[in-house]
Structure 1
Amino acid sequence: MSTYSFGVIGAGIIGAAVAREITHRFPGAEVTVLDKADAVAAHQTGHNSGVVHAGLYYQPGSLKARLCRRGVDLLHDYAGEKNLPFDKCGKIVVALTPEEEVRLRDIKEKALANGVPDIELLGPEGIRSVEPNAVGRMALHSPHTAIIDYAAVTRALIDDVQRAGGRVILGAEVVSIANREQGCAVTVARGGEQSIHTFDHLIACAGLQSDRVARLAGGAAYPKIVPFFGQYSQLAPEHRNILNGLVYPVPDPAYPFLGVHLTKRVDGEMLVGPNAFLSFGRENYNGWRIGLKDSIDVAASPGFWKFAGQNMHAAVQEFGAVLSRQKFLAGAAAYVPSLEGAVSTPITRGIRAQAMDRHGRLLDDFVIEDIGSATLVRNAPSPGATSSLAIAEHLVETIGDHPRFTKYGSRGEGGRG
């Protein structure tokens, strides 16, 4: 049995998955999850569309591509084990122009290289056979793309951690980290008081605060998190069954986000969104609570201004959709014409923790930094939730390879085999 102690910062789906994986790889280890929120899955995990991505878009061989495909299988099996809804509703990525058709064929080649099963290109008639209310010149059909409730998955993972003897401390904000080769001392502020927790190893999965937590642990200044909000609207009840699955646009290489699409949720609701625009606050979910510290942080970053200058045209287009819900819905009606004039209601926005380098480039792949006795997840955007169990597997296996932990962290003694 292991006598090691591990700290995990973040009770979102990745932090919860990491904590659970530690209990499997290091039986008997002390595991403590710290989160400044008062509930698990309070941030990105609890504010997303619930899509289980199949791995269509990602650069073959990248960490993101590999962990997404592994993550899909692990998530499917875990949902079955816990009796959580997992709906393989399928998805089509629709091209409306000849230029998009070219990009769609490139996506298909990436998807094949990534091992995405059963994908095929469809013409207009094929589109109608899958989604009778959708239109387009060509579409890539991914029949195994699924939907799930990630907050419910996170609660189940946390329950597993606690059943294995782990602790979950909520309302606990990490204010300092003394990171040394033989362990980390983490100072936590909670209820007006401070306490110190010591761990043999610390794993930070802090999402929107990942760069700040990394800096506390001695990590590099970059990548820096720049928050982008995504606003979804929920269609009126008469549109709940307008689609069988998901309808996505072909990504525009001139802008780093997917654009407005239609997403079914496991509760049966149909969502349109998201737009993507700079968020004035890392946790500004209602749009009104401006984060002064966060906004100054972005404004002080030369990399952000380089990014803004390169993406001004796309930003103007996105801002139009932010101001006008009619324009926002018109984007969806281009793919599903019967949505013209549809009624919808905005729901709580999501905020994407997007890592940016000092040159203003948005980082596409997952980024993990190891320093001292800390492992820092610096960038885990979509498909981070899809990949969460695989990210946990990857991180904990890497930690287990360290000489201090080899006895208990390998796939031999103490591992799952």
Structure 2
Amino acid sequence: METVDTLIVGAGAVGLAIAAQLSKNLSNVLIIDKNTSFGEETSSRNSEVIHAGIYYPESTLKSKLCVEGKELLYQYCTNRNISFSRLGKLIVATDNEQESLLSDILCKAKANHVSDLKILSRREVNTLEPQVKSTSALYSPSTGIIDSHSFMQSLLAEAEANGALFSPLTELINVEVIKNGFIVKVSCQGETFTFQCRNLINSGGLQADKIARCIRSLSEKFIPNVNFCRGHYFSYSGVSPFKHLVYPVPSENGLGIHATLDMSGQLKFGPDTEFINEIDYTVPEWLKGQFVRAIKNYFPLIDGSKLQPAYAGIRPKLSKNKFNDFIIQDETKHGIKGLMNLFGIESPGLTASLAIANLVNQALANLR
């Protein structure tokens, strides 16, 4: 039977980062994905923001890996000539109650070792962004944007240069746990293949729980349910009125409909939050009215005729109504040697991808 060192299921940003990292020391790494290419789901349907690590509760994986991953990501992009920009972000308060929330956010950021934030007055905000309505704002200079496709392309090229192989249109069917690894059955373009691997990395994103249920010996108690949370984006035609990223003060439903720019200068707004039962990337035209009303709170001069449906993304959330951290399970959690399960890798997964890869690499090394 054919054997590989490590099978990585899922070729999003995190799976590819893990492949690039593990292939430095392992000669036979295989990445599979059910889609026609890499990064076709959550990794390519987001805001492409490099997050600073501001909002997450202290000592969580999200806070630690976001702050660590941000610096790794900026360095990686610099070293490999991947397009990025440290545009900076304004978190905008529009009344006294929201101003008090800015202070809470600042304290949380400092607890997460994000020390470059600054409270700006209304006048200072107006100097940076004349069309933003605010009473004050929190400025994050280390927040940026990235060309996520080029980043993932670079990770795959690095992994392949190290001898890794990528097999698209390949879906996991079944995994049997054996003494020194796993016997894996996959379907590839209508044909079924069986092979053996020593390590198995489940980086399946939206399908991570489904993939975990293919592993016969893995107890159901270790498999959380993944909820599909859709966020819609609308593009704004013409020259952008903003030079920075502009966010409202976050609410219980998330970070709110914010303004972001891509590397070409295209302005877009989103995402909102909608839980759905099936994967569906539709952006209904009728949502425009809701978007315009939300955006007017900080951009009162918005021209609704310039707002057009752009795309939708789906995040794999582990809860519908509370904060959930990343779940990264190794043998110490579920008892299966060589198995790593990654659940709930949503935002800030892109920012944290290189740090997650380091964590997975270290966990496997410690358990060899």
TM range (shorter): over 0.9
Cα deviation, residue 342, structure 1:
4.3
Asked if the contact 1:354/1:362 (under 8 Å) is kept, the reply is: no
Determine if the alignment matches structure 1 residue 348 to structure 2 residue 314: no
Distance across 1 between alignment mates of 2:171 and 2:105: 41
Q: Deviations over 1:279-305 (max 9, x none)?
A: 3423x12369xxxxxxxxxxxxxxxxx
Bigger drift between 95-104 and 154-163 goes to: 95-104
Determine if the alignment matches structure 1 residue 338 to structure 2 residue 301: yes
Name the counterpart of 2:229.
Answer: 228
Asked if the contact 2:4/2:196 (under 8 Å) is kept, the reply is: no
Bigger drift between 95-104 and 360-369 goes to: 360-369
Q: Deviations over 1:22-49 (max 9, x none)?
A: 022x2x4210001000111111111111
Tell me the TM-score normalised to structure 1 length: 0.82
Identity of aligned residues (%): 30
Distance across 1 between alignment mates of 2:13 and 2:201: 13
Asked if the contact 2:27/2:162 (under 8 Å) is kept, the reply is: no
Cα deviation, residue 179, structure 1:
2.6
Distance across 1 between alignment mates of 2:245 and 2:158: 31
Distance across 2 between alignment mates of 1:287 and 1:152: 25
Name the counterpart of 2:73.
Answer: 75
Matches within 5 A, 1:15-414: 15-24=15-24, 26=25, 28-217=26-215, 218-220=218-220, 222-237=223-238, 240-253=239-252, 255=253, 257-282=254-279, 284-286=280-282, 323-356=286-319, 362-370=322-330, 371=334, 372=336, 373-402=338-367, 404=368
Q: Deviations over 1:149-185 (max 9, x none)?
A: 1122111101111111111011001111113452112
Asked if the contact 2:283/2:309 (under 8 Å) is kept, the reply is: no
Matching residue's letter, 1:19: A
Question: Aligned pairs, how many?
Answer: 358
Matching residue's letter, 2:262: R
Bigger drift between 73-82 and 335-344 goes to: 335-344
Distance 1:23 1:97, change over 3 A: same
Distance 1:250 1:184, change over 3 A: same
Cα deviation, residue 390, structure 1:
0.3
Matching residue's letter, 1:102: S
Distance across 1 between alignment mates of 2:360 and 2:72: 15
Distance across 2 between alignment mates of 1:280 and 1:156: 33
Tell me the TM-score normalised to structure 2 length: 0.93
Distance 1:224 1:342, change over 3 A: same
SS in 1 for 2:282: coil
Bigger drift between 343-352 and 163-172 goes to: 343-352
SS in 1 for 2:68: helix
Cα deviation, residue 362, structure 1:
4.2
Matching residue's letter, 1:364: N
Asked if the contact 2:232/2:283 (under 8 Å) is kept, the reply is: no
Distance across 2 between alignment mates of 1:58 and 1:387: 13
Distance across 1 between alignment mates of 2:67 and 2:43: 19
Matching residue's letter, 1:42: E
Q: Deviations over 1:386-410 (max 9, x none)?
A: 00000000111111001x2xxxxxx
Distance across 2 between alignment mates of 1:16 and 1:401: 21
In the alignment, structure 2 segments of 5+ residues that lack a partner are none
Distance 1:147 1:47, change over 3 A: same
Distance across 2 between alignment mates of 1:163 and 1:61: 36
SS in 1 for 2:351: coil
Distance across 2 between alignment mates of 1:70 and 1:181: 35
Distance across 1 between alignment mates of 2:287 and 2:8: 41
In the alignment, structure 1 segments of 5+ residues that lack a partner are 289-321, 405-417
Over the aligned positions, Cα root-mean-square deviation in angstroms equals 1.8
Distance 1:4 1:32, change over 3 A: closer
